Amino acid sequence: MVVSAALAVGLVTTLITNPRYEWGTVNEYLFAPDILRGLRMTIILTVVSMLIGIALGIVLAVIRLSPSKLASGLAGAYIGFFRGTPVLVQLIFWFNFSALYPKVVIGIPFGPEFFLVNINLLITPFVAATLTLGLNEGAYMAEIVRSGILSVPEGQTYAASSLGLSRLQTLRKVVLPQAMRVIVPPTGNEVIGMLKTTSIVSIIALSELLYSAQSIYTRTYETIPLLIVVSIWYLLATSVLTFGQQYLERRFGRGTTRTAPVARFQMLRNAWGMTRREAGVQ
Amino acid sequence: MMGQAVAHTYSARREGDFMLQAHDVHKFFGSLHVLDSVSLDVAKGEVVCIIGPSGSGKSTFLRCINHLDKIDAGRMSVDGRLVGYTERGSRLHELPERDLLKQRADIGMVFQHFDLFPHMSVLENVCLAPVLLKRRTKQEAKAAAVELLRRVGLADKLQAYPVQLSGGQQQRVAIARALAMEPKLMLFDEPTSALDPELVGEVLVVMKELARTGMTMIVVTHEIGFASEVADTLVFMDRGRVVESGDPRTVISQPREERTRTFLSQVLS
């Protein structure tokens, strides 16, 4: 107890007294245009990759649970492949995809070509990055969505079927909304994980947050201060995401407790709406 | 004779008078013979109660009527149309999903554990299917739902979520939800078995009221009192077979079969 307290005090002291942290430099670069552009790219990458991942995950989970052994097996193979190879390897693979297939032709073999795609031009660093992160995320999301679907009692499906709802209607209106309660918390983790994982695309020279900082400190040698800048932004972004996750969890917790749940964000919004109404604003 | 008892009771009726015609229905779960040559005819407007020990195939039979379970042999038709199949020549073809769904929508079902949709309010539960299947506009569906919920005594619970209701209230919502599709036939799968004893009555009252309006009902139940009061026909099933059936009071007071007698003495004691 005493030892850890002493260590903590010592660490804080060095944070203030050690000049090599260069807090001034941190402050200087925190809102630098290059850093903010990098942050924007990180956010775009996270959003696009997660959207691909979630959409793919739902589709894969449904196929995985389909009665067809072949379809289920194919989805299983996809999940196994993407979970079984490092995402960094996948990234480099997609980035070099044109070495494998320089161009893709749509047409009749040995016959006329209708459509030709130059893979080298198609796979930009951004495309390689979102493709890698999205396809990889799809495998993880598939397992999360699958566990969510399996958490919904079978009786719900029977009840929906007996009313005449189709498989798809049952999935959309009855099963998925209930599965969300199980799906949201781990998905929140995935988004936070994704936000940080986007930093690996710095190796294919895509100017996200980390790469933007790297390109500054390779010039100025202010490595530590810039890494602090980067960490501050990552921390801030993950904090915002955590807040959003809590909101979603309460939103999809509807009907599971006897008292109607109100999310913190909804409370804020309600309070805001009330003051606006009181002030006579429409 | 077994399994045919009901058929001769209504031998005077014509084909079109029957809501359900089941003939020589078989169903297997692996090697287990769950339904063993079950035949049962139910006239339009008739209330049939099915009793029997657990595992006797009652619930499975009910689920076969709306094709939640498929039968392995025999014929089953509702309102003159084969369930889940069409007949071309002498061959049966499985119905495409769309037609099957239409058939199901005409058969209401109420489950032992209610199975309301917990993420929807009472009103949303009742409105979901009519709106989704485009039987009614949102406005019409809502008006109809309010009327149905009034009928089952829950007009003040429209905005409540299922978890806020007692079991009896949930089951009454489930009945309203099934009725919202205006079914020709209502199936009840042990509708009061999961309820606390003091809540059974309120559900039975709603069911009696429904029977009085002329709805065709098939009820799997352990409520012998309800069966003798409301049912036109009582069916006793055991080990996948119809053992005995007929007028409920006769079956209860003078059972012909030994197995029926044993079962009734256990239930009534």
pLDDT at B136: 86
Identify the bridge partners of residue A103 per DSSP, sorted by sequence position.
A118
Give the distance from residue B189's alpha carbon to the nearest chain A alpha carbon, in angstroms.
12
| Cα B157 to Cα B173: distance, rounded to the nearest angstrom | 10
Q: Which candidate from B115, B119, B164 shows the least CB-CB separation from A159?
A: B115
| Cα B207 to Cα B202: distance, rounded to the nearest angstrom | 9
Looking at the complex, does the CB of residue B181 fall below 8 Å from at least one CB of chain A? yes
A162–B108 C-beta distance less than 8 A: yes
Burial classification of residue B74, based on how many CB atoms lie within 10 Å of its CB (0-12 exposed, 13-18 middle, 19 or more buried):
middle
3-state SS class at A110 = coil
Longest dimension (CA), chain B: 55
pLDDT at B3: 41
- Strand (E) or helix (H) holding A204: none
DSSP state of A164: T
B120–A255 C-beta distance less than 8 A: yes
Find which of B68, B132, B177 to mutate to test the A interface (most A CBs within 10 Å of its CB). Answer: B132
> Is the pLDDT score of B95 beyond 60?
yes
pLDDT-above-70 percentage for chain B: 94
pLDDT at A258: 56
Among all residues of chain B, which has the CA nearest to that of A157? B115
Q: Is the ipTM of this complex over 0.85?
A: yes
Q: Whole-prediction pTM value? A: 0.80
**Mean pLDDT rounded to a whole number for chain B:** 91
CATH topology of domain A25-251: MetI-like fold (1.10.3720)
Chain A residues interacting with chain B (CB cutoff of 8 angstroms): 153, 155-156, 158-167, 169, 173-174, 177-178, 252, 254-258, 260
Q: Which candidate from A160, A166, A258 shows the least CB-CB separation from B163?
A: A258
pLDDT digits (tens), chain A, 282 positions: 788 999 999 888 888 888 888 888 888 999 999 999 999 999 999 999 999 999 999 999 999 998 899 999 999 999 999 999 999 999 999 999 888 888 877 777 777 777 777 887 788 899 999 999 999 999 999 999 999 999 999 999 999 999 999 999 999 999 999 999 899 899 999 999 999 999 999 999 999 999 999 999 999 999 999 999 999 999 999 999 999 888 888 888 776 665 554 555 555 555 555 555 545 444
The torsion angles phi and psi of B181, rounded to 5 degrees, stand at: -85, 5
pLDDT at A145: 96
Half-sphere exposure of A173 (CA within 13 A, CB side): 22
At residue B1 the predicted structure's pLDDT band, cuts being 50, 70 and 90, is very low
Burial classification of residue A168, based on how many CB atoms lie within 10 Å of its CB (0-12 exposed, 13-18 middle, 19 or more buried):
exposed
Which residues, in sequence order, are CB contacts of B86 under 8 Å at separation 6+? B92, B93, B95, B99
- Strand (E) or helix (H) holding A274: helix A264-278
Residue in B117, B134, B98 with CA at minimum distance from that of residue A168: B98
Give the distance from residue B78's alpha carbon to the nearest chain A alpha carbon, in angstroms.
14
pLDDT at A111: 73
Residue carrying the six token digits 């995401």:
A241
